[in-house]
Chain A
């Protein structure tokens, strides 16, 4: 019974991550805008497809150029999840470049603010100044209250993968680290028990890593458009998986138990030291599509807000405990094998 509590905790946390992660609705958002190319001085009527919106109180729409220049829509209408928004684009655009990206904001008290960053391209022809951009500062933007996940363009519902894909990598790393500590301890004490612990943790960590690659690949197909891209982080995590596959091969290729344990323990320490720069340093130095790498903004803001943290962190603990559990069963099998067949059969 004493060893059962963390297994129950593991099940509870994973169920929590599944239920809350899948059932919490997203905030409303914008799917697409047409036309997205507008030019200065024209009166444009846009059709905007929205996601998850409910009937609002009073809709307002703005085109945002920068934090000081907003353009208010002359009319906003919502029918069947589609907005019809009219803008009168002023003939004077306060800018030097002829083409620039504008952010569309649609706001309402009940629905909060729908944002499509840089969703509209504005073509400007130079004209005299008759400015009608709002200059008095920030317009009133509402925020939708309640326990809701943020809506991100491109990601949409797949933002939930954050609770299933990312914790796999976290747990893999924790398991590999624990495995390395056991290996160091084996080299220090030469007790075969620690080698069993190390290899069990590494094998369950490898399971997490391979699942991380597969789930990441599925997520990439939905958001980046391909199962595998030339992203640095993808290639380097695949390489680190290969490094650990070599660990498994090294173990199965050596007959003598003591030799196997010593060799693989030493290899394990080097393997862990190698994957740290491969996964954490290189993708940051080079370019990467992952958040937090290669100039992309890291976790934070709308990518991982507080509602998401409430699911994300428990999911990390849950998946790590799951890995420890799976590793522990393997460890117990190894112990039994050793007790019964130590003198008779090689394993």
Chain B
């Protein structure tokens, strides 16, 4: 989680460095950043659902 966050920051940072030659305005680089961010968000949502499943099992074990 923490690492992925660092990665997003890294990608955004490097992209901003490139922005001076118009990578964002002319080059449509924002689309690439959005695509990668959406992939990460998808993985996070999946991880959260796994997390919930595990919590359920843990609770059930505790109940018995």
Contact = CB atoms under 8 A, between A and B. Distances in A.
Of B46, B53, B57, the most chain A CB neighbours within 10 A belong to B46
B43 A157 contact: no
B7 A18 contact: yes
Given A18-B11, A51-B27, A157 B42 contact: no
A265 to B, nearest CB: 22
Given A52-B21, A333-B57, A341-B60, A215 B35 contact: yes
Contact of B32 (A52, A161, A329, A337): A161
B27 A26 contact: yes
Contacts of B7: 18
Q: Dominant SS at the A interface?
A: helix
Interface in B39-64: 39, 42-43, 46, 50, 53-54, 57, 60-61
A322 B42 CA distance: 12
A177 interface: no
A161 B36 CA distance: 8
Contacts, number: 84
Contacts of A157: 23, 27-29, 31-32
Given A156-B26, A215-B35, A340-B57, A22 B11 contact: yes
B60 A333 contact: no
A337 B28 CA distance: 47
8 contacts: A18-B7, A51-B22, A52-B21, A164-B39, A165-B35, A168-B39, A333-B57, A341-B60
